[in-house]
A and B are shown apart, each in its own frame.
Chain A
Amino acid sequence: MVEELTVKHFEITETARGPKQMNGAPVLSVRDLRTHFFQDEGVTKAVDGVSFDVCPGQTVGIVGESGCGKSVTSLSILRIVDPPGRIVSGKILLRREGGGGVTDIAALPANSRALRDIRGGEIGLVFQEPMSSLSPVHTIGSQLMEAIRLHTHLHESAVRERAIDMLRQVGIPQPEQRIDSYAAQLSGGLRQRAMIAIALAGQPRLLIADEPTTALDVTTQAQILELLRSIQEETGMAVALITHDIGVIAEMCDYVIIMYLGRVVEQGPVDQIFFSPKHPYTEALLRSVPNVHSEPKTRLPALAGSVPHPLHRPEGCPFHPRCARFMPGTCERSQPRLTEVGPDQRASCFLYPGADHG
């Protein structure tokens, strides 16, 4: 049951979010990415056919619950999936700087020079837990300077200057002193800022932020999101934001991809996803999120059941056992195709014509 993939380059039109500078061709185009984990218990299809584009200046959000494959997608883009996981098919096309053509990251040899140049160079990465991604035995300055040396050709004397500059740019107070501190000496918010500075050292054109604020308090989260937004405005870089927080998606993203058990259930411009969701899962997910405007002590419209273990993905549409609009005889038989349901909006659901193979 191989799906023909006909996802073309999506035209990014103006959304209700307002005009945004999205100059030209996408920085990154992911096409039918499949990353599977080959375990003793069976094969987990962590990412199973994901396609999207990220354009300069655009923020694409990937959202979903545990086991939906959002993080594995980001790891796949950087080719840092650990065994027993491996990319089994698909293309990860990176448009190189200055008309340098297009590189398929998925096809590059592992540990190759080219791959290492891309990581931290053209693609920067920010993780959820800065404590575990920063070295505890080096100062943040030395890690930042290392990144600057690797990806720029600055003279040694200028490197420290540049590092202090970057720390200031990400809002770390007294950067001249903080440059010599260790990660453990900084608060969670400052560590995440340092991590962002390191990710920005190579002046990436794409920043992948994997749950960048999940470990932070809400006021710190607001600061970090603000910082990401202002950096993006200045540099025009593209951002891929992976999160489980619907509020963060609404606030940050231009384009949203909703995943469930390794499959994209719906993708489209943020305004359409929030105001005219087409997939029953999107609809239910958005309704079940508590918000600060709701009447206290009222029941939430909850989604039934829980996310199945990724190893035991239901047959057919993976969402069908929990779906309020389950159609017996259809939904459990085959997987729906991602199909056009609105301008730039796609959903994989049999409610819409074109989802089956006919």
Chain B
Amino acid sequence: MVDTISDPSDDALLDVEGLRKYFPIHAGLSRRVVANVRAVEDVSFAIPRGKTLSLVGESGCGKSTTSRAVMRALDVTGGSIRFRRQSGEVVDIAGLSRAQMKPLRSEIQMVFQDPFSSLNPRMTVADIIGEPLLVNGIDKRQDRVDRVAELMRRVGLPAQFMQRFPHAFSGGQRQRIGIARALALNPSLMVLDEPVSALDVSVQAQVLNLLLDLQDELALTYLFVAHDLSVVKHISDQVAVMYLGSIVELADTCALFDRPLHPYTEALLSAVPIPNPRKRSARVLLRGEVGSPIKPPPGCPFHPRCAYAQDRCRTEVPRLERTAEGRQVRCHRAHELDLSGVGSMERPV
């Protein structure tokens, strides 16, 4: 599990290369495009089969847009999304049409953030979990009922609650229903969009445990989107930190938390409150505000807030560089800075 990132091209289940997603801003009667919101700008990552990659970052950094682009819930502006099908064939799904995507849908599934709005309140749990089965050709009712019961047991819900409506379940239980629905078609890739952030603390842990168990049993590959770094630490093999639409750093989980290479990662880690009253993080407080994705700052998009910025950072856009240990970082000064990780930044109060 601590192996370094292997060359993404061979055994990766998902290989995203140079992904871009712009949202045009229209103005006037002619609906002319006056500007673009660069929600995702040149994002590349690969997830090996059975592993978890987390996208972290603050609101508006493009992590959710990236995940939705991978799901092809929206059209992408550029780049490629190579997905290895269960048949072994590798498809670039970035350019596929709605109809072309349909046969692939069963292999890529999603768990949503909000356990309330993601389940149709007018359908019973059996119908919700059974719908993917029904529309994908499992016509016999009894077959579906059996499969739904099996799925419910697998996610830790008693199968006798099948005929109930979602309103009878608590947030954590609804999230289990959402997971069961996603599992129905035996996907190989699961996109988990903040799946625990709407849950109570005590329930978060249950759902995280369930996700870990399912990955073990079913060899699932997760693309996990989250803003909570503590949760990310628990679930991920690799972490990609995003800022203003691009990945600023990508590394194995422990490496990234212990020894960040990008100043933004350092600031993000230092901001996490430590659940120990005797310790406090030596904060790297960021100056100012996140720049605009319509008109990002010139040079490195993070430079106006960066404590280590130099002249070069203000003019030249840094490239995503690969280090010797197989990490990736987008910073001109990555090799010379010595940044603190979660271990070294804590001070006794």
Contact = CB atoms under 8 A, between A and B. Distances in A.
Touching chains A and B, CB distance < 8 Å: yes
A289 interface: yes
Contacts of B286: 219, 223
Nearest to B213: A299
Interface string A302-322: 111011010000000000000
A301 interface: yes
B231 A189 contact: no
Contacts, number: 162
Which of B233, B275, B289: most chain A CB closer than 10 A?
B275
Contact of B275 (A220, A247, A296, A301): A247
B288 A250 contact: no
Given A219-B58, A248-B273, A288 B202 contact: yes
Interface string B226-263: 01111101111100000000000000011001000000
B283 interface: yes
Contacts of A220: 58
B99 to A, nearest CB: 38
Contacts of B230: 247, 289-292, 294
B120 to A, nearest CB: 21
A294 B201 contact: no
A222 B208 contact: no
B235 A296 contact: yes
Nearest to B1: A297
A303 B349 contact: no
Contacts of B280: 251
Contact of B212 (A245, A299, A306): A299
Interface string A213-257: 000011111110110000000000000000011111111010000
A291 B285 contact: no
A246 B212 CA distance: 23
B349 A217 contact: no
Interface stretch (B32-40, B90-98, B169-177): B169-177
Interface stretch (B22-30, B80-88, B137-145, B264-272): B264-272
B270 A222 contact: yes
A18 B237 CA distance: 39
A16 B209 contact: no
B288 A306 contact: no
Given A218-B227, A300-B208, A173 B288 contact: yes
Contacts of B236: 296-297
A307 B237 CA distance: 31
Contacts of A244: 200-201
B344 interface: no
A65 interface: yes
Interface string A84-111: 0000000000000000000000000000
Nearest to B58: A217
B212 A297 contact: yes
Contacts of A275: 278
B159 interface: no
A293 interface: yes
Contacts of B212: 297-299
B205 A303 contact: yes
Given A274-B275, A297-B212, A307-B170, A217 B227 contact: yes
B273 A245 contact: yes
B185 interface: no
Interface string B200-227: 1111111011001100000000000001
A291 B278 contact: no
A270 interface: yes
B307 interface: no
B232 to A, nearest CB: 9
A312 to B, nearest CB: 11
B254 A296 contact: yes
A150 interface: no
Contacts of A247: 230, 272-275
B36 to A, nearest CB: 21
Nearest to B233: A292
Interface in B171-206: 171-173, 200-206
Interface in A316-347: none
B276 interface: yes
Given A290-B230, A294-B234, A298-B234, A284 B202 contact: yes
B60 to A, nearest CB: 9
B59 A217 contact: yes
Contacts of B342: 292-293
A289 B58 contact: no
A118 interface: no
B274 A251 contact: yes
B273 to A, nearest CB: 3
Contacts of B277: 16-17, 250-251, 253, 270-271, 274
A181 interface: no
A248 to B, nearest CB: 5
A296 B173 contact: no
A278 to B, nearest CB: 16
Nearest to A246: B275
16 contacts: A16-B277, A17-B349, A188-B59, A189-B289, A217-B227, A223-B285, A249-B275, A253-B277, A274-B277, A290-B205, A294-B230, A294-B233, A296-B236, A296-B237, A299-B209, A306-B173
Given A65-B202, A248-B273, A250-B277, 20 more contacts: A187-B290, A189-B289, A190-B289, A217-B58, A218-B228, A219-B58, A226-B283, A246-B201, A246-B275, A249-B275, A250-B274, A251-B277, A251-B280, A274-B277, A289-B205, A291-B274, A291-B275, A297-B1, A306-B202, A307-B200
Interface of B: 1, 52, 58-59, 170-173, 200-206, 208-209, 212-213, 227-231, 233-237, 253-254, 257, 267-278, 280, 283, 285-286, 288-290, 342-343, 349
Closest 5 CB pairs of A and B: A247-B273, A302-B205, A217-B58, A222-B271, A303-B202
